[in-house]
């Protein structure tokens, strides 16, 4: 019986010892965790200042247009032969349409005979008059054969209607393609011919196409509630899958800074005529004035006021506004995702 009581006593002691160890471990773990917690955790979300790229872009929307286009109009009564169909690719000089040329051939023969008679008479003024008539008759005969003025694609053929007896044939030059977009007037001071960017064609969302600004309109126009300027960007690479008339989203890079100190724009607050951030020092945050460089929709380059590794508050409680070179960020069109502060570099 004594051996049984002794064994039970040892088990009780071991159980009590285990409980004490577990309790001590839990207490120690809680203490360690409390020491590891950030002293600024009660202040809100923070960001550690680091280096990265800041790229400012202008976003605009438009349509793909050809290098040039041309429309032939001719009388249905004179149509002799139509040699192309819609969608055909043609080369420069290729015959598209032949018209009846009976009258034009007769007029050329008459003009040729009249010119010969004038030369026989030797009167300079009469000779010049007959030469002009001959040249006109020759041109009219040549115009009865319609040739492609450039290599391209036949996009439309319209037959006569009750309103008109004329036919029309439209041709576009696809050797070079462009995107015509409307840029908000607030972004225009940053935009220049020669700047490059990318285009995303809505029908081909998995591809991006490099573009270059080649033309900026000289007049602003009203589109709905906005004032915009027409801008033309050239597609620097061609793809047969890109069709004239496709809608496109264009992003033009207007400023950039590589490997610079940067902070999310959500960390910036107004400080008089300048800008500041709330820098975390110990268990409190203090205002720190900063000088800004390039600013995008997400990031702001820090020229002075902060060092790499500094900790600042995101979305500080002080009233804030977001700086841009034009003092206001562009408003994304309907359906585009809204701004969200970045969570990482």
**Mean pLDDT per 10-residue section of the chain, whose length is 345 residues:** 42 40 38 35 85 94 95 93 95 96 96 94 92 96 95 93 89 95 92 94 94 95 91 92 94 93 95 93 91 93 95 76 43 35 39
C-alpha distance from residue 310 to each of 35, 106, 266, 282, 297 (Å): 20, 91, 16, 12, 22
CA atoms of 247 and 251, how far apart (whole Å): 14
CA atoms of 311 and 314, how far apart (whole Å): 10
State the pairing for strand pair 299-304/247-264: antiparallel
CATH code, 61-65+172-255: 2.40.30.170
Encoded tokens for 183:
């840029």
Q: Is the dihedral of CA 126, 128, 131, 132 positive or negative?
A: negative
Domain range summary for the chain, segments of one domain joined by +: 61-65+172-255, 101-143
Range list of H helices, the chain = 2-36, 102-121, 124-142
CA atoms of 235 and 197, how far apart (whole Å): 10
CA atoms of 157 and 170, how far apart (whole Å): 6
How confident is the model at residue 329, as a pLDDT?
Answer: 37
Q: Return phi, psi of residue 241, to 5°.
A: -75, -15
Decide if 50 contacts 311 (C-beta within 8 A).
no
Q: How many CB atoms lie within 10 A of CB 253?
A: 14
> DSSP per residue over 284-317, as a string?
EEEEEEEEEEEE-SSEEEEEES--TT-EEESS-S
CA atoms of 69 and 168, how far apart (whole Å): 13
C-alpha distance from residue 327 to each of 56, 189, 223, 257, 344 (Å): 14, 12, 22, 19, 25
Encoded tokens for 266:
């959500």
Decide if 40 contacts 48 (C-beta within 8 A).
no
Q: Indicate whether this model's pTM tops 0.85.
A: no
For the CA atoms of 181, 183, 188, 192, the dihedral, rounded to the nearest 10 degrees, stands at: -20
CA atoms of 149 and 70, how far apart (whole Å): 8
Indicate the length of the chain as a whole number: 345
How confident is the model at residue 308, as a pLDDT?
Answer: 96
Encoded tokens for 94:
């290729």
Phi-psi label, residue 282: left if phi above 0, alpha if psi -120 to 50, beta otherwise: left
Decide if 290 contacts 276 (C-beta within 8 A).
yes
């Amino acid at each position: 019986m004594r051996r049984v009581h002794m064994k039970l006593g040892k088990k009780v002691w071991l159980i009590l010892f285990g409980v004490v160890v577990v309790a001590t471990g839990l207490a120690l773990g809680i203490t360690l965790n409390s020491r590891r917690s950030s002293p600024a955790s009660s202040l809100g979300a923070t960001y550690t200042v680091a280096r990265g790229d800041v790229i400012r872009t202008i976003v605009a929307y438009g349509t793909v247009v050809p290098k040039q286009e041309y429309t032939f109009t001719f009388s249905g009564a004179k149509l002799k032969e139509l040699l192309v169909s819609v969608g055909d690719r043609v080369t420069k000089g290729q015959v598209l349409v032949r018209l009846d040329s009976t009258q034009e051939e007769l007029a050329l023969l008459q003009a040729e005979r009249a010119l010969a008679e004038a030369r026989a008479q030797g009167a300079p003024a009469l000779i010049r008059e007959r030469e002009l008539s001959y040249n006109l008759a020759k041109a009219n005969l040549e115009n009865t054969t319609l040739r492609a003025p450039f290599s391209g694609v036949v996009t439309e053929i319209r037959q006569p209607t009750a309103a008109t007896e004329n036919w029309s044939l439209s041709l576009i030059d696809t050797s070079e393609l462009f995107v015509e977009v409307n840029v908000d007037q607030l972004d225009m001071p940053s935009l220049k011919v020669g700047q490059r960017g990318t285009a995303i064609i809505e029908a081909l969302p998995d591809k991006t196409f490099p573009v270059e600004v080649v033309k900026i309109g000289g007049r602003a126009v009203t589109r709905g509630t906005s004032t915009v300027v027409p801008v033309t960007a050239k597609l620097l690479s061609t793809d047969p899958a890109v069709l004239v008339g496709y809608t496109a989203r264009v992003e033009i890079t207007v400023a950039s800074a590589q490997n610079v100190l940067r902070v999310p724009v959500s960390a910036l607050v107004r400080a008089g005529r300048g800008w500041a951030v709330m820098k975390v020092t110990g268990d409190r945050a203090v205002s720190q004035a900063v000088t800004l460089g390039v600013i995008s929709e997400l990031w702001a380059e820090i020229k002075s006021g902060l060092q790499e590794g500094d900790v600042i508050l995101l979305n500080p409680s002080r009233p804030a506004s977001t700086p841009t070179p034009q003092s206001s960020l562009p408003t994304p069109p309907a359906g585009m995702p809204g701004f969200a502060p970045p969570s990482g570099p």
